[in-house]
Structure 1
Amino acid sequence: MTTHFTVIATYTATSDTADVVATLLPLLAEASRKEDGNISYTVARDLEDLTRFTIAERYVDAAAFQAHRDSEHFQRIGVGTIIPLLADRVVFAYAGTGEL
């Protein structure tokens, strides 16, 4: 049985910053997908509330997720640029098993 580490994050921007966040998240996703321990990284924008985004990330383990959080691109794009534009941010982490 394969194990993995899954993270689901909900980012809520303000009405003034939502379109900027929408342009930055794909840049973060593209860089994150290149990380050694990343299995997948997807971003979706809510169809009814355009200020809300859901990010689904899967890593080989918790250490790979921590490496993601420590990465230059996450610190620069995520922490330095996107997070200050948000009204709210909720992150849940899960251990998973099963086929990838």
Structure 2
Amino acid sequence: MPESFFQVIARYQPREGQLETVLGLLAELTAATRREPACLSFEYFRNVENPEEIVIVECFVDAAGFAAHREAEHFTRIGVEQIVPLLQARSSSKVVATPV
């Protein structure tokens, strides 16, 4: 990892009955995102305390790399058009991270 990087932690709560569909779509989005030049890592997990919640941890070289991700065709096609309509709630935090 570089000295600092742009990190996003997102939380998705799928609508009832949509968890498996969202997880499948996230697998597609993850594969495409990992091929982006500015992507350092892109991982998603099920929350241990609330298995219906998905936590996504994204790391990009910088804020511009994250902005490019949000403009990517696969982000619009999979993330915005397919995943977002299946969610009842979502939130995210963005930070510039510096490993210690």
Aligned match of 1:31: 32
In percent, how many aligned pairs have the same letter?
A: 38
CA displacement, residues 27-71 of structure 1 (integer Å, 9 cap, x when unaligned): 101100000000000010124533210000000000000000110
Aligned match of 1:90: 91
Is the contact between residue 18 and residue 50 of structure 1 (CA under 8 Å) also seen in structure 2? Answer: no
The secondary structure found in structure 2 opposite 1:63 is: helix
TM-score, reference length from structure 2: 0.92
Q: Which runs of 5+ in 2 are unaligned?
A: none
Aligned match of 2:19: 18
Count of aligned pairs between the two proteins? 99
Hey, what's the Cα distance between the residues in 2 that align with 1:47 and 1:88? Answer: 18
Deviates most, 44-53 or 56-65: 44-53
TM-score, reference length from structure 1: 0.92
Hey, what's the Cα distance between the residues in 2 that align with 1:91 and 1:47? Answer: 18
Hey, what's the Cα distance between the residues in 1 that align with 2:28 and 2:50? Answer: 21
Aligned match of 1:72: 73
Q: Which runs of 5+ in 1 are unaligned?
A: none
Aligned match of 1:4: 5
Residue 16 of structure 1, CA deviation: 1.6
Q: Give the aligned CA root-mean-square deviation in angstroms.
A: 1.4
